[in-house]
Structure 1
Amino acid sequence: MSFLQDAPKLAHPYRNDRVLHAFLGRALPGDRFDALEPDLDALSDYAVMAWRRRELTPRREPELTQWDAWGRRVDRIALTPAWEEGPHITTTHRVLSSGHADSPYARIEQFARVYLYHVASEFYTCPLAMTDGAATALKASGNRELTSRALPHFLSAEAGNFWLSGQWMTETPGGSDVGRTETTARMDEHGQWRLYGRKWFSSAVVGEAALALARPDGAGGGTSALALFYVETKDAQGAWQGVTIDRLKHKLGTRELPTAEIHLDGVPATPVGALDHGVRQITPMLNVTRTWNAVCAIASMARAISLARDYAGRRSVFGSRLIDQPLHARTLADMQAEFEASFALTFFVVELLDRVEQGMAAAHEPALLRLLTPMAKLWTGKMAIRITSEAIECFGGAGYIEDTGLPQLLRDAQVYAIWEGTTNVLSLDTLRAFGPAGLQPMREALDQLLAGHSGHERVAIDETFINAERLLTSLQNDRAGLEACARGIAITLSRVMAAALLAHAAHWASSHGDPRPAAAFRRFLGLGLDRLVVHERSDDVMLAADLASSPEPSTGTHRSFQGA
């Protein structure tokens, strides 16, 4: 019989994740860790089952039935098994509600659950993130009536009582440019607000509720005139009320997630707050939903590396296993180091979110959270694409075959750089986050993390941070130049912060007899922190538009920024 290659097996995501174990060991008291473990074990058991199911059964996607056999408009969506199981998994293991517990560790415990559940959920975590964000926004609004109505459903411990919330913002005129919103809100003869318009992307269309931006009748143009409304999508009999589904989107990835184009034709709505500045009312949810995005991105990295590592121990070529071949081992080691850095930054943001939400933050930490959240989201989004791409290459031709389930890792990863703001949108948001304090909150955090560290590794982190400060200073009167460099600044600062966090984790692990985090720290530094490349603006214009001619040629096309 001819040779048949063993497929990669998914190692138990919790029991075999030393990075998660070490973090929780540092971050949680022993009794909290012990209480959390049964959920982490169970969610990982589910993940292993879901991977095996994916190997044995054809992949399914949601299906929209718009009309029943008798001509009635029903807009019924058939979901995948993982989505049908979502409410039970979510409520049984408190994947969502644990983040709103009255505990200084609420977000840590929540996002540990999310990290292990995400890939197996087939992006059911997307509407969970929207629901978490909606709960956060409603709490911040002070609207007691809506809070008492919606939160018992959003944070329910019972699957039959659990509601999902969508987030209806994107329209055909623009995504990030919400000021061009065309949906209108009108009050009917009974004093009930109703929404009319078209929402171009609705990733939680199966949810029972949504937050939507709309322009009240008679309001002016622009972003400030928009209001934020709460809607419930179906009536007491379960029929859509003023919502029709035009079609489901056919997407590159996240295909199990039913993303829809919808029309609103008089759906009843309740203002969340005042009838203006609706975007401000959304703002409290951004730290939450962007953190979900980053946690899900590192979960995809962990899955890709786990499968690639297992395969490297099974696959033999030229007389030895892949794992024993020096170049392949180095490739896996580089991937692991980048993952550990991404994990460290993401869960540091989770810790900050906990402290800020619980009123336990140090003076500099609210500003630090505002700065690091868009940075962590944009950087991990890019890293997820890079690492999943490298991982499927580790399988050779098998990584390109759809039946293996491996290409899906890369196609799904592409969404992390798009959801909750593209890389460029969040890079510009990072510039806004500097505020009056500039980089001082980050400087304070670095000093705390690196206290007691010395030598060339500390110097490398400090010098890169100083270079970023100098670049910001040099461009303070050149807004266009600053915006052009925003991506390099954000990624460099992300890597600097991640390096400091790795150094801190390595110190803790070494004292407990584990040298691997120190190796990851050294490897990550070796891959470089500085992404501060300043290009000539004239070349930007010429190449971006592919102009036939350009201004006078410069003496150099780019330079690495090393300060004055």
Structure 2
Amino acid sequence: MSDLQTSIDQRTYSDNIPHPRAPLAQNFFKADPNLDYLLQRYLPASMHEWARQQLSWLGAQVAGPIDERADYTDREGKPRLRKYNRLGEDISEIITNEGYKETVAEVYGAGIVSYLYQDIPELGRKAPYSYSFFMGYLVSQSEPGFYCPVTLSMSAAYLIDRYGSEEQKEQYLTGLTSRDRTRLYEGATWLTERQGGSDVGANLTVAEPVAGRQGVYRLTGEKFFASNAGAFVATVLARIDEEKPGTKGLGLFLVPWIKPDNERNHIQVRRLKDKLGVNAVPSAEILLNGAEGYLIGEPENGFKYMAEALNLSRICNAIASIGIMRRAFYEARYYAEQRRAFGNPIDQYPMVKEMLVSLLLDTEVSTGAVFDMIAVYDRLQSNSASKEDNALARLLIPLLKYRTGEEAVESTHTAIEIHGGNGYIEEYVTPRLLRDAQVLTVWEGTSNILALDILRVMQKESSHEEFSRLLQERVAGWKHAFSQPYTELIRTELAILEENIAYLMQQTHDYVTYKLKTLADHMVDLYILSCIVSEAEDQVTREGNARKYILAKLYAEKHFPSQEKRGIQADSMLDVQFFTQLMEYQSVSVEEWAQQSAIVPTR
């Protein structure tokens, strides 16, 4: 055997190419200092210690067994349809694998839905939505496909709790909010039909009242993209008044798979969809053949109710996006640390450092902005919000759903590029992340639909005025010298934004819609910048740590760039200079940042 052959044979797989299943972290919560920071920022102080313990347990689960089950489900254990029983009767049973069922039991058992409605035993209080969304952020790093059923169960519970009768709450809300796997009901929301898609007003499913049974209807029609198709209870839109066009004629109904008399409802699954990604969630074409449904709330308000649940689902969509972004960053960072090329680990090269910091930047600033928006949503749910908060939430939710969905796709693409050819191989998680991310730009409204919703809330509720007021008040409250350049930048950009909005409101509808996404990008850029600067000021004030100001400057350079010399002669290379501090969440002293930014650190 030649010396060369001996040398090759003595190498191990891990000498140069990181193993696709190598543990990049034993615990996704403990590996994420920014998540602990946000926990302190947005949860009540009385919850901090308990939440850390719970999220630490979940962080270990999603980094270990839940991730392993997700990989199996995606590649070998997809849901399947058992259409008929031995007698040839249509039973439309959806079967999921045992590992997936274990994930269902663990995550619901940890209170991801339950604690929104029931007191936490150790604390004697319910959890705010922000806590449930912290859980969802961790779950989505391993199994965003399963977070879809969680989202739908959460939405169904929301609708029944808000608008259902006491009988409906007793019969169905109890199961939807259970932590006991033997009593748990999963939920679904079925909107989409073949002929309309996002145009819900085109829905043709009809609801006919059952004589002598108040509030009971028979639903007939098709739901073309019904996610979590095997859920025990679905909330369904159906046309209750055929004389009222569009969404005005739609009522909202609770449709259980098994009726209260223990008979199967008249629901059939035509087929399961063969999807690009999120294979954990069974998505189906559903036929309602006179299925028994129970009216929720007022008959004329069905779409209004569902629109409220849609806002909740859009927040969940943003949570799934930032979870995938975080996992993409994890994978890229670990791989770049281990992979050697041209004599060095590839994370030693400036181009790779720039890519890794870009992944971190988008993830950290968007995560902070999403939870800042959730703070507004929590006020709405606790009835402590103002009318202005409602208008603001209806603007911020579609803005951040839009931005984070796009970023999730871009982040997974970048992670694959950092891996090179290995990133394209299914043994690595990166292909699944990319496939799963694609749906996040489609679920709960595409970018065009979101832009139209943004326009609608601006026209009807003047939400852009509340947006401007929020940012003006926010920058006026900044005191640290490091924040002052961003005060000037945001005020200047807000003036441009307000001028552009005033101009657009005078133009034709076609021109307005043509420019809507450009306007939305400007708004969300400003909002995210205001969030990261607020975090930076908070952290430097409390801890003397200026690290987040680096992110603020990088974000401003990326989204509000100087055009001088195309940026070639003006770039500061902060991402390379502070690479280790950013990657390792190391503290950056006030003096160090003052020297770099040429700002005197006075207050």
TM value normalised by structure 2: 0.83
8 Å contact 1:130–1:289 — kept in the other structure? yes
Task: Report the alpha carbon displacement of residue 131 of structure 1 after superposing the two structures with TM.
Answer: 1.8
Identity of aligned pairs, percent? 27
- What CA deviation, in whole Å up to 9, does each residue of 1:466-525 have, x standing for no partner? 222111101112122211111111122111101000001111222314332221111111
Q: Secondary structure at the match of 1:403?
A: coil
Which residue, 533, 536, 546 being the options, matches 1:515?
A: 546
8 Å contact 1:122–1:257 — kept in the other structure? no
Q: Secondary structure at the match of 1:270?
A: strand
Q: Which residue of 1 aligns with 2:28?
A: 13
Task: Report the alpha carbon displacement of residue 407 of structure 1 after superposing the two structures with TM.
Answer: 0.5
Task: Report the alpha carbon displacement of residue 187 of structure 1 after superposing the two structures with TM.
Answer: 2.9
Which residue, 486, 500, 507 being the options, matches 2:530?
A: 500
Q: In the aligned structure 2, how far is the partner of 1:233 from the partner of 1:219?
A: 29
Matched, 1:194 2:211: no
Q: In the aligned structure 2, how far is the partner of 1:210 from the partner of 1:372?
A: 27
Which residue, 121, 135, 140 being the options, matches 2:162?
A: 140
Task: Report the alpha carbon displacement of residue 146 of structure 1 after superposing the two structures with TM.
Answer: 1.9
Opposite residue 67 of structure 2, the aligned amino acid is W
Q: Which residue of 2 aligns with 1:128?
A: 150
Q: Which residue of 1 aligns with 2:67?
A: 51
Q: In the aligned structure 2, how far is the partner of 1:130 from the partner of 1:56?
A: 23
Q: Secondary structure at the match of 1:361?
A: coil
Q: Which moved more, 1:246-255 or 1:354-363?
A: 354-363
Opposite residue 523 of structure 1, the aligned amino acid is L
Q: Which residue of 1 aligns with 2:39?
A: 24
8 Å contact 2:472–2:491 — kept in the other structure? no
Q: In the aligned structure 2, how far is the partner of 1:81 from the partner of 1:433?
A: 44
Q: In the aligned structure 1, how far is the partner of 2:283 from the partner of 2:436?
A: 14
Q: In the aligned structure 1, how far is the partner of 2:473 from the partner of 2:127?
A: 21
TM value normalised by structure 1: 0.89
Q: Secondary structure at the match of 2:551?
A: helix
Report the CA distance shift for 1:388/1:467 in structure 2 as closer, same or farther (over 3 A).
same
Q: Which residue of 2 aligns with 1:74?
A: 91
> In the TM superposition, what are the counterparts of 1:244-259 in structure 2 within 5 Å?
244-259=268-283
Q: Which residue of 2 aligns with 1:93?
A: 110
Q: In the aligned structure 2, how far is the partner of 1:476 from the partner of 1:254?
A: 39
Q: Which moved more, 1:193-202 or 1:72-81?
A: 72-81
Matched, 1:173 2:185: no
Q: Which moved more, 1:353-362 or 1:300-309?
A: 353-362
Task: Report the alpha carbon displacement of residue 122 of structure 1 after superposing the two structures with TM.
Answer: 4.8
Matched, 1:354 2:384: no
Q: Which moved more, 1:394-403 or 1:1-10?
A: 1-10
Q: Which residue of 2 aligns with 1:488?
A: 518
Q: Which moved more, 1:125-134 or 1:382-391?
A: 125-134
Q: Which residue of 2 aligns with 1:452?
A: 478
Matched, 1:273 2:297: yes
Report the CA distance shift for 1:54/1:452 in structure 2 as closer, same or farther (over 3 A).
closer
Q: Which residue of 2 aligns with 1:406?
A: 430
User: Pairwise CA RMSD of aligned residues?
Assistant: 2.3
- How many positions carry a matched residue from both structures? 531
Opposite residue 220 of structure 2, the aligned amino acid is Y
Q: In the aligned structure 1, how far is the partner of 2:243 from the partner of 2:183?
A: 37
Task: Report the alpha carbon displacement of residue 399 of structure 1 after superposing the two structures with TM.
Answer: 0.5
Report the CA distance shift for 1:319/1:346 in structure 2 as closer, same or farther (over 3 A).
same
8 Å contact 2:241–2:249 — kept in the other structure? no
- What CA deviation, in whole Å up to 9, does each residue of 1:335-369 have, x standing for no partner? 11111121111111111111111122255322211
Opposite residue 339 of structure 2, the aligned amino acid is R
Q: Secondary structure at the match of 1:335?
A: helix
8 Å contact 1:137–1:283 — kept in the other structure? no
- What CA deviation, in whole Å up to 9, does each residue of 1:58-79 have, x standing for no partner? 5421111212344232222221
Q: In the aligned structure 2, how far is the partner of 1:425 from the partner of 1:112?
A: 27
Q: In the aligned structure 2, how far is the partner of 1:99 from the partner of 1:131?
A: 12
Report the CA distance shift for 1:14/1:186 in structure 2 as closer, same or farther (over 3 A).
same
Report the CA distance shift for 1:433/1:101 in structure 2 as closer, same or farther (over 3 A).
farther
Q: Which residue of 2 aligns with 1:463?
A: 492
- What CA deviation, in whole Å up to 9, does each residue of 1:200-222 have, x standing for no partner? 01101111101111113754442
Q: Which residue of 2 aligns with 1:311?
A: 335
Q: Secondary structure at the match of 1:273?
A: coil
Q: In the aligned structure 2, how far is the partner of 1:199 from the partner of 1:105?
A: 33
Q: Which moved more, 1:194-203 or 1:134-143?
A: 134-143
> In the TM superposition, what are the counterparts of 1:227-246 in structure 2 within 5 Å?
227-235=251-259, 240-246=264-270
Q: Which residue of 2 aligns with 1:392?
A: 416
